Structure 1
Amino acid sequence: MSEQEEVQEITHPGPILRAARDELRLSIDEVASQLHLRPSVVAMIESENYHDFSSDVFLKGYFRSYCRLVGLHEERMVELLERQLTVIVEEKRQLDKQQADEKLKAKRIHLMKLTGVAGSIVVVCALLVWTLIGSENEHELEQRSDSSLESPGAVVEPPAAPEEVAEENDSVELVLVDEKQSAAETLGETSAVTDVAIQSSNLDAEDQSSESQPVDEVSALSNQDQPQVRGTISITFTGDCWFEIYDDQDNRISADLMRDGRKFDYEFSTALRVVLGDASVAQVFVNDVQYDISSYVSTTGRAEFTVE
């Protein structure tokens, strides 16, 4: 084994746990039985396959239990684990950034292609419209020129006599005088009606103001609604199990490594989200009725469900 491989094993907690287990001559099944975990979870910890763990809290809880079982220093091992998790998170962040940059680049290229196609379509449409308008204008000019050549000359009427012009002016003046008189009469009637309407509206306003009485304002303090208890939840543990519970606002109510024989009781007024590290050692009762969680159990034995 080269020096680089030895340094890698020292700085990676998974091989250290596996070596400690081999030194104690324990199998993966025996370790899983003593830790109340599935053998696949123990294998994932030793192979440093942390992607299947939903949160670092569960991983660190299992890791500490494993270290205590094989007699390793918990804090030093957890420090190595945190360094490794930091590297994994940084690699994932860089990978996500690279993928996001590639998607953005592809999106820009696609947008440029669409812009080019749209510009080409606009240019083609403009050329077609310009061609159609030009042909219509030429056709209209040809029609106008043909109609001007075919139409006869305009007929000029002789000027009217002076006597006829004077009679027409007199009739126009009489009509204007009559229209002015009728307009003045109409204006007088309208102003009279408007004055009467204004006086009546003022009288109505005075009557309303005299009849209106002040109304006492009644203010009452509304009692603040107190949260009502929906029900109770009770969880009994028959083995070691990491346990978390959150309310509907995702605020953590409790989180702890529950031992064999411990029990959790809680009265809730909102929906609850419950997370169990090993559902096989937990019995859930909602309103004193056993709650079936078998459909929420994953391949690693972890269960996450919501209680309404």
Structure 2
Amino acid sequence: MNTELEIDNVQQQHDEATTDIGRLLKSKRLALNLQERDLATELKISIEKVYALENNEFERFRSATFARGYIKSYCRHVQMDYRPILKAFDVQQSDRESNLRPVDNVGSQSSAKDPIVYIVSGILIAIVVFVAFWWPTFTAESETESAANPQQTESVQEPVEDLPDEQDLDMVASGSEAPAEEISDTTPVEQVTTSQPDDSGVVTGLSAETIALLEDAGVDPEAVVAATREPEAPVVPEISQEPAYRNDIEVRFSADCWVEVRDNTGTILFSGVRSAGSTLKLDGEAPYKVVLGYARGVKDFIYKGESFDFSSYVRKDLARFELN
């Protein structure tokens, strides 16, 4: 039985290696009555590239990754299952040096000579040195300050308010702008520490004796409190700021480039080839997973209104990275 499975596997690999991809694509196109120029217009590629796909001239493309992306777009447009076609393409390219690496297996490991490694190492060393020298100094200063300022439990004496004399009462009654703290007398009286309402329902911070003297002089205690009350600061409403950008992702292309973008839900926001001079704008739920089949074809990559440098993620013209 194992021998039969081995024979089937060998036969399947042989079939994939001998599959005429271009003939299958062309047959499907002709069955749909599509002309080469019409297909090139729909895919936004040149008619020469359509000829190259149908003639199995994949070496005419910049890389195997680029050719693979065109094949996938071609199959989707003619409503053809692209998975067996791409599998046959991968088998046929196995003996050559391929620029394509599966998306799920593209590692983000940095070599020991990557400049980012040096930068991160330098930052970590600086933090260790800073903590080593600063922490003993901070501890010594804290102990010195604690020794110089011991905790005190002294009782706080309530402030004493002087009673107003007859002259100051006359000034208040006549409407003069004399501050309340100038109403004083030589006899100190203990101040009421908590605000209490008087007979008229007015809550003041004056002592009971002061209120009685003011009422006897015909002065409204509320007017005295209002004269010393500080005006309340106006409440400034918060103004919500909208983001300065309209789309989460905006990509401008200087050459043809195969692009695939997925959002946090796994939804494919875009998968296909964008031509030179075009712009791709996408929105979804972050984080985003991005794959660029021909990274040099991207002129500008803008994420949430700011330019994003993905050069450190490029490996043989293929870039794969994640945007948080």
TM over 0.5: no
Larger radius of gyration: 1
> TM-score, normalized by length of structure 1?
0.32
* Structure ranking higher in helix proportion: 1
TM-score in terms of structure 2 length = 0.30
